[in-house]
Structure 1
Amino acid sequence: MAAGSVRNSREDVIAVALRLLDETGLPDLTMRRLAAALDVQPSALYWHFTDKQTLLAAVSDRIIDRVPSVRPRDDEGWAELALAEARALRDALLSYRDGAELVASALALGLGADAARERLRAALGRGDFDAYIVDAGADAMLQFLLGHVAHEQQRMQADSLGVVASPHAVRAEDASGTVPSQGAAFDFGFTLLLDGLAKHVRSAAGPAGLTASVR
């Protein structure tokens, strides 16, 4: 097939970019490498995307779009729903190499959709919060989510390269004498945020016993 003889769709470009993200990582996901994988000239990519950052924002959106819907129960409170949404978003980010870094970069540049934040905002919207708390709380939760998962993925990459961890990086044991999993550590940190937000509920003191219920 001659290079560029078949025009790839926007969806084709995003799908191949996701595959290359897993294979090469975000730093090596270049327009030239992507064009070669699609058997086109690099200039052909600009038919769909004005620049690389716009392309990466579209890839970021695709990762978030694949997060399964979280259907709240009628009796489920805002905190439980927020944690369920955060877990679903974390799983999606971990499904792609450098997923958290990619999504964080797109958000920092103001590119792409805001679906991840809106999911967290919707969860807080089930509580009796002022509008400012809903917005600021969603931002805080999203920043924790992206930072935590980015750290997880950096550690996984270091482990895959055989990098020896510093003695100072050894994780602390919990009360049972075991080192908590990354999932448990994520839940604990996220729950600290939820416990803090619970103090801002206007009509109640908040979900008593929440921390113990999600460990």
Structure 2
Amino acid sequence: MRYRREDVVDRALRVLDDYGLADLTMRRLGTELGVQPSALYHHFANKQALLAAVADELLARGGRPVPPGEWDDRARVVCLSLRDACLAWRDGAEVVATARAFGLGGLAPYAALVDVLGEGGLGDELAGAAATTLVHLVLGHATDEQLRRQAGSAGALEADDLDRDFTAEVTTGVDLVLAGLRARV
């Protein structure tokens, strides 16, 4: 059977969710699709390109529209949407962070934040720095939350270590950054 690029990404997302990032290999993905791993290189030059497509797809599936309103409220929505999209998939935050680090994918939330912050009156340089800060904050929180939950499910952490309001923590962090930006504007 011949697969389209979208089919490969869809199956990669399922492998990611079932087995985690460490086991999302070209070999496993080929096995899941019933093809030789070399057939995947028809669609993706390397694993990094595959991860970039996976990151973009999980962000697209988890994205939500940014409603009209004040720039800081809109920026908060972009940040929480990024978090939700990452948390919807096992190791999602790590996938997005990896694709972003390589500059190959996972860039949509950054671009959305630059636009929203620019509309809020921040200059290009400050909007870029603020968007980077917010994306790193959210990805760091989401990665921490995913790692803690995985460790908890494996019995490596006590229930007390997981009895936290992760949403409140990241929202407070985002709000602190936004408050500082409001003061700058």
Cα distance between partner residues in 1 of 2:75 and 2:108: 14
Equivalent residue for 2:39, pick from 44, 47, 56? 44
> Partner residue of 2:50?
55
Offset at 1:128?
1.5
**Equivalent in 43, 65, 69 of residue 65 of structure 2:** 69
Partner of 1:96: 89
Contact 2:97/2:106 (CA < 8 Å) preserved in 1?
no
2:157 alignment partner in structure 1: 164
RMSD: 1.7
- Alpha-carbon distance between aligned partners in 1 of 2:67 and 2:113, rounded to the nearest angstrom: 13
Give the drift of 1:125: 2.0
Aligned residues: 184
User: Does 2:31 correspond to 1:31?
Assistant: no
Work out the CA distance in 1 between the residues paired with 2:31 and 2:24: 11
Please tell me whether residue 189 in structure 1 is matched to residue 182 in structure 2: no
Residue 98 of structure 1: CA displacement?
A: 0.5
- What TM-score, normalized by structure 1, do the two folds share? 0.81
* Structure 2 unaligned spans of 5+: none
3-state SS of paired residue (1:199): helix
What are the superposed Cα offsets for residues 75-110 of structure 1, whole Å, 9 maximum, x if unpaired? x21111111111111111100000010000011111
Secondary structure of the 1:134 match is: helix
Tell me the amino acid that sits aligned with residue 165 of structure 2: S
Q: In 1, distance between residues paired with 2:29 and 2:15?
A: 7
Q: Give the C-alpha shift of residue 147 in structure 1.
A: 0.6
Q: State the Cα deviation string for residues 125-170 of structure 1 (Å, max 9, x = none).
A: 221112111111111100101111000000110111011349xx95
In structure 1, stretches of 5+ residues that fail to align are 1-5, 172-178, 202-215
Q: Does 187-196 or 13-22 show the bigger shift?
A: 187-196
Q: Which amino acid aligns with 1:83?
A: R
Change in CA separation of 1:150 and 1:59 when aligned onto 2, cut-off 3 Å: same
Structure 1 counterpart of 2:123 = 130
For residues 164 and 4 of structure 2, the distance between their equivalents in structure 1, rounded to whole angstroms, comes to: 44
More helix by share: 2
Which residue matches 2:110? 117
Q: Structure 2: which amino acid aligns with 1:118?
A: A
The TM-score normalised by the length of structure 2 is: 0.94
Structure 2 counterpart of 1:105: 98
Q: Specify which of 17, 28, 31 is matched with residue 22 of structure 1.
A: 17
Structure with higher Rg: it is 1
Percent identical pairs in the alignment equals 45
Q: How far, CA to CA, are the matches of 2:101 and 2:93 in structure 1?
A: 12
